[in-house]
């Protein structure tokens, strides 16, 4: 299946989520989303699963109370009504569907191809002076740099921890803060140095950035 078709299916699914109006259907979508997170064959699907589930649960509980209507349950000062249950279910179904759908899309399609499809879809906006191409060029470069930035940050953090005289939360927080500014400068001056060591990508745009006013050493 082509990336364009996958994107079309995802956008259609996203639009359909906003047509959900009943509690049983919404609860079914939430349940299916959580089950898909748990049983999807690719283990990468389960990365960040706990924060995702907590976010969905927080969204559900945040909308479950304080709405007027027929009372279904009272928990101390809190009241669950039919309308509050419906609203909480529908909003959580939209959130869970969007998150899980996006995870499936990114696991089955290269990010760069997804960006290319989005760029082609939004390209007509350039007629009204929206800088679509520039935005996606920056997004593509950012994605290429992220693994290198992460590796550089971890290496510098571990080195800072080894050299630190004291250990503790405030000490670690101070190390993180002191690392941010030098890493930002390195990202601007020598972006190609931050490309993943396992990557053979030679991006001319990165070389062009190095030759700019911020890249002179």
**pLDDT tens readout for residues 54-80:** 888 888 888 888 788 888 888 878 888
Distances (CA, A) of 38 to 32, 128, 167: 10, 44, 37
How far is residue 211's CA from residue 20's CA, in Å, rounded to a whole number? 52
Contact (Cβ atoms closer than 8 angstroms) between residue 48 and residue 33: no
**What are residue 71's DSSP bridge partners?**
81
How far is residue 95's CA from residue 56's CA, in Å, rounded to a whole number? 7
pLDDT tens digits, residue range 70-124?
888 888 788 888 888 999 999 999 999 999 998 888 888 887 888 888 888 888 8
Confidence of residue 148 (pLDDT cuts 50, 70, 90): low
Judged on CB neighbours under 10 Å (0-12, 13-18, 19+), 44 is exposed
Length of the chain: 217
pLDDT tens digits, residue range 14-63?
999 999 999 999 999 999 998 988 888 888 888 878 888 888 888 888 88
Handedness of CA 11, 12, 13, 18 (dihedral sign): positive
Contact (Cβ atoms closer than 8 angstroms) between residue 37 and residue 45: yes
User: Model-level pTM?
Assistant: 0.62
């Amino acid at each position: 299946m082509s990336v364009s078709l996958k994107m079309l299916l995802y956008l259609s699914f996203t639009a359909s989520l906003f047509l959900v109006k009943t509690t049983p259907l919404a609860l079914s979508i939430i349940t299916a989303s959580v089950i898909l997170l748990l049983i999807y064959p690719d283990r990468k699907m389960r990365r960040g699963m706990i924060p995702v589930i907590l976010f969905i649960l927080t969204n559900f509980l945040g909308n479950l109370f304080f709405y007027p209507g027929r009372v279904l349950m009272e928990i101390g000062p809190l009241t669950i009504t039919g309308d509050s249950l419906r609203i909480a279910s529908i909003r959580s179904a939209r959130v869970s569907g969007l998150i899980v759908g996006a995870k499936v899309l990114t696991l089955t399609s290269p990010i760069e191809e997804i960006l290319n499809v989005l760029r082609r879809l939004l390209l007509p906006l350039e007629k009204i002076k929206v800088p679509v191409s520039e935005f996606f060029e920056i997004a593509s470069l950012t994605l290429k740099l992220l693994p290198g930035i992460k590796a550089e940050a971890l290496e510098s953090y571990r080195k800072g921890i080894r050299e630190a005289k004291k250990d503790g939360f405030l000490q670690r927080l101070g190390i993180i803060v002191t690392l941010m500014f030098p890493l930002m400068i390195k990202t601007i001056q020598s972006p190609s140095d931050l490309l993943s060591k396992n990557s053979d990508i030679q991006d001319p745009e990165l070389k062009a950035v190095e030759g700019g006013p911020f890249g002179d050493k």
